[in-house]
Structure 1
């Protein structure tokens, strides 16, 4: 039970301290609202939830890696920079994938909505 409490403490700490996780959470809320409004299928919901929770998890890992590197060295080191940059690149690639998946799911629905309004 304490490991669950520690995990919640970690999540709370990241939400309080990290700007990027707040941006991802805001995006997640918007996507979930849009998903309800458009009445996504179960399969579409699975992709959306996979994207949201995967993105948040990867951002948590990225934040943990950055803080660990900062703990190890306060000095600039090329390998520390490399590790941080690669971790950030992983987040970027996953974010790109989520945008593509979101576009595949939502663009046809948005186009259909605008056609009915015009």
Structure 2
């Protein structure tokens, strides 16, 4: 028999994932900086579309870092020895985070440029 879907149980799993991500120093740094940017976006008189876009790219960085942490956890579970494929998996996860941060920076710069110049 298939288990019944429970929104609250699934939300608790997601919150456990956020709690786990906060154990990672990179995520903590990105989270603190990201929350500062989110607060700025909420309280500065940007348009609703700009607010959504600016906050969305920050949340995208959080998601990418969670995926990267998940990849690293699985790799660490699979092997404690050096392996080129394990290194590739970790490096590619980090590259994904780098690209989402780049997207966020370019998005914020373009909106701020339009706003202040």
Give the whole-Å Cα distance in 2 for the aligned partners of 1:27 and 1:18: 14
1:84 to 1:74, Cα distance in 2 relative to 1, 3 A: same
The normalised TM-score by structure 1 is 0.85
- Per-residue CA deviations over 1:61-107 (Å, capped at 9, x if unaligned) read 00010011000000000000001101100110110010000001123
Match of 2:105 in 1: 99
1:11 to 1:65, Cα distance in 2 relative to 1, 3 A: same
- Structure 2 unaligned spans of 5+: 1-7
Match of 1:23 in 2: 29
User: What's the offset of the Cα at 1:47?
Assistant: 0.9
Give the whole-Å Cα distance in 2 for the aligned partners of 1:50 and 1:37: 15
Give the whole-Å Cα distance in 1 for the aligned partners of 2:10 and 2:62: 19
Q: Is 1:12 matched up with 2:19? A: yes
- Per-residue CA deviations over 1:5-52 (Å, capped at 9, x if unaligned) read 11111111211x101111111121221232244311011012112101
- Structure 1 unaligned spans of 5+: 113-118
Partner of 1:39, secondary structure, is coil
Following TM superposition, the consecutive aligned residue runs of length 4 or more in structure 1 with deviations greater than 4 angstroms are: none
Equivalent runs, 1:1-118 vs 2, <5 Å = 1-15=8-22, 17-109=23-115, 111=116
Give the whole-Å Cα distance in 2 for the aligned partners of 1:11 and 1:29: 14
Bigger shift: residues 71-80 or 38-47 = 38-47
Give the whole-Å Cα distance in 2 for the aligned partners of 1:71 and 1:99: 33
